[in-house]
Amino acid sequence: LGYRRAFAPRWSLESYLAYRRSRYSELAVPRDEGLTELDVVTRRSLGRAWLLDFDYRHSNNDSTAAGYAYSAARFSVGVSKTF
């Protein structure tokens, strides 16, 4: 599920929500997992196909096996050019 909105000249906000259910029955440690991810990106156009991104992602993985459940947060800043 995603959403994108321009909120000022050259600025946009994007958000994504995803859920994945996994069943690992054939592994050495059989388990069921549910991964939820939320991603929020603020993007600024720098002109001439250059973009500046500020990205935050939160992940939460629930697992029936100890040691495989986790929660994580990631921040990143990036510059890219479209050719």
Q: What is the pLDDT of residues 14-72, one digit of tens each?
A: 999 999 999 999 998 899 999 999 999 999 999 899 999 999 999 999 999 989 999 99
Torsion over CA: 5, 13, 40, 47 (sign): positive
HSE, side-chain direction, 13 A CA sphere, residue 24: 13
| Cα separation, 50 vs 80, whole angstroms | 6
| Cα separation, 69 vs 38, whole angstroms | 17
Task: Name every residue whose Cβ is closer than 8 Å to that of residue 40 and which is 6 or more positions away in sequence.
Answer: 13, 14, 15, 55, 56, 57
Place of tokens 């040691």: 67
